[in-house]
Amino acid sequence: MSMDDEEEPYIGIFYPMLNPKFDDDMVEKILSPLSYLKEFESKWVLEVDLPLVNKKDIKVSLDSGNVITVEAKLSEAYIDTKHDVKHEFQYFKKRVSLPGKIDGKKITVNFKNGRLIITIPKVFGGNEVQVE
């Protein structure tokens, strides 16, 4: 067999979106929104894009492991077609882990024009060091 007679290797591409049992978000009709986490000296600011969402349909929670979860119901279904398969989404969900200590009691959340802005103050602590 010469080099010219060799078959091209077959490279299969696996699309989990075509088989819903491999992707729970497709089954649950959940989208992950675009987000941006910025760190400042005294706070974290998490911005989340939530188009097609009304303020009353947004839920923000903080768990004991410093994970912020944003959930929102879309005001109308979002339909996306990929590889000739139609997918309908009804919810947004985003989980973001924050490093370091934060003050969960002073978190503020604002929503305007489809953008959710969550401000999370940091907690500063430590031991005073004696200067000799």
Confidence of residue 4 (pLDDT cuts 50, 70, 90): low
Q: Could you tell me if residue 47 is inside a domain?
A: yes
CB 77, CB 56: distance < 8 Å: no
**What Rg, from alpha-carbon coordinates, does the chain have?**
22
SS3 of the chain: helix, strand, coil, percent, to 5:
15, 50, 35
For residue 69, what is the domain's CATH number?
2.60.40.790
Among 2-16, 44-58, 118-132, the range with the most confident prediction by mean pLDDT is 44-58
Q: Could you tell me if residue 79 is inside a domain?
A: yes
| Interatomic CA distance for residues 34 and 16, integer angstroms | 21
Classify residue 27 as left (phi > 0), alpha (psi -120 to 50) or beta.
Answer: alpha
Q: Could you tell me if residue 12 is inside a domain?
A: no
Q: Could you tell me if residue 78 is inside a domain?
A: yes
Q: Could you tell me if residue 64 is inside a domain?
A: yes
* Count of domains forming the chain: 1
Q: Could you tell me if residue 27 is inside a domain?
A: no
Q: Could you tell me if residue 17 is inside a domain?
A: no
* Owning domain of residue 82: 32-121
CB 45, CB 119: distance < 8 Å: yes
Q: Could you tell me if residue 129 is inside a domain?
A: no
pLDDT tens per residue across span 64-90: 888 999 999 999 888 888 788 888 888
* pLDDT of 14 over the 60 cut: no
| Interatomic CA distance for residues 105 and 100, integer angstroms | 15
Tell me how crowded residue 92 is: count the other CB atoms within 10 A of its CB: 26
According to the model, what pLDDT value does residue 6 have?
Answer: 55
CB 45, CB 120: distance < 8 Å: yes
Round the average pLDDT of the chain to a whole number and report it: 81
Predicted structure pTM score: 0.71
According to the model, what pLDDT value does residue 84 have?
Answer: 83
85-97 sheet: strands from edge to edge? 30-31, 85-97, 67-82, 53-62
